[in-house]
Amino acid sequence: MKGVRILVTGATGVVGTEVVGLLRAQAAAGAAAVTAVARRAAGTAPVTRWAIGGEPPPGALAGPWDVIVHCAASTRWTLGRAEAEEANVAPLRAVLALADRATHVVHVSTAYVGGVRAPEDLRGAEFEGFRNGYEWSKAVCERVVRETHAGPLTIVRPPLVVGRRGSGEIARFSGPYTVLQALVSGTAAVIVGDPEGYAEIGPVDQVAEVVARAALGEPPGEPVVRVIAGGAGSLRLSSLVGIACGTLNEIRRAHGAAPIEQPPFVPVEAWNRFFLPLAEQYLSPFQRQAVRLLAMFQSYTSMAAPFEPTDRVRDPGAVFEAAVRYWAARRPRLALAAPDPWTLLTR
């Protein structure tokens, strides 16, 4: 495709940063003209500021657009239902208003909208069985884009996103990186989940490649869904935690820091029914908040079956090790800190 006019939202986010970089490399060769949009400008690359859903679009964003790549989203797992609607669903509707029947919409969702929903999940009643507000809102967004947009549509569903294959580089640490900080700080007293459960991750450069390929390719005649996952070759939770602890301890030894201990695994049901109710009466407010945040990972680390990928993640163990090394290099004080194990409050 030549001279394609492409709009990319969320251009300063984890995935959007990579997508804009790939598409602008193509633009330099005359294949596309890329307009990057973000709530806040960041870095040196030109970005059009737009608080999507909170204000009308700037005049510079007037159509027609050949392709709209919608990466913008709040990925915060603690979103309430109203917050998730405002943060993710309303902005999508505003972006779709810029599209016409000829516009190819490439919508970045999450693989977990297609996962098995647990009726006893911690927030299942509020979010219709989905794991959290982010996941619920992305499922709603998929429904909205299918019902609203009459033109070509590609939905890209990545798993938990980590750094680039090889270098581990990523624009921002979030999601699974919370576990690394919990391990070295001592906040993760236990790992709640099934050691044999599947833990799906994907390198951000592969996610961006799938998105960019869709944006520059021939628009599909029917809606297409691309699932990025390791499938049967994805990491098990025990392997993921083992790689995290082993890599961190290798780095710590090289800098003369004592190793961290790998926390024991506790099944989700046992944790929710017995350990948590008993422990909460002895936890400080900070510890209770930490437990709630880590609890968001429970169903992500206890998947009984992997996703069926259209775009398979190769060697996810090497991908995750590179991600850990990059995080440690960028956060050396955290990576080498002495853990502060929890102690019970005395009353």
Q: Give a yes or no: residue 343 inside a domain.
A: no
Residue 34 has a pLDDT of 93
Residue 347 has a pLDDT of 46
CA quadruple 175, 117, 144, 34: dihedral positive or negative?
positive
Tokens of 245: 């602890």
Tokens of 266: 């506790």
Rounded Cα distance between 84 and 81, Å, is: 5
Q: Give a yes or no: residue 342 inside a domain.
A: no
SS3 of residue 288 by DSSP: helix
Residue 293 has a pLDDT of 66
Q: Give a yes or no: residue 297 inside a domain.
A: no
Residue 122 has a pLDDT of 47
Residue 44 has a pLDDT of 56
Q: Give a yes or no: residue 178 inside a domain.
A: no
Q: What angle separates helix 177-185 from helix 285-295, to the nearest 10 degrees?
A: 140
Question: Could you write out the DSSP letters of every residue in 40-56?
Answer: S--SSS--EE--BTTBP
Token pair 């209770």 is found at 288
Q: Are strands 198-199 and 235-236 parallel, antiparallel or unpaired?
A: antiparallel
Residue 224 has a pLDDT of 98
Task: Tell me how many domains the chain contains.
Answer: 1
Q: Give a yes or no: residue 318 inside a domain.
A: no
CATH of residue 47's domain is 3.40.50.720
Q: Give a yes or no: residue 144 inside a domain.
A: yes
Residue 299 has a pLDDT of 66
Element containing residue 203 per DSSP (H, E): strand 201-203
Residue 42 has a pLDDT of 64
Q: Give a yes or no: residue 301 inside a domain.
A: no
Per-residue confidence in pLDDT tens, the chain, 347 aa: 457 899 999 999 999 999 999 999 887 777 779 999 998 766 556 899 999 999 999 999 988 999 999 999 998 888 889 999 999 999 999 999 999 999 999 999 999 987 555 544 445 567 777 878 888 999 999 999 999 999 999 999 999 999 999 999 999 998 889 889 888 988 777 788 889 999 999 999 999 999 999 999 999 999 999 999 999 999 999 999 999 999 999 999 999 999 999 988 888 788 778 877 776 677 777 666 666 666 666 667 668 889 999 999 999 999 999 999 999 999 999 999 998 766 554 44
Q: Give a yes or no: residue 24 inside a domain.
A: yes
Q: Which domain holds residue 10?
A: 4-172+200-233
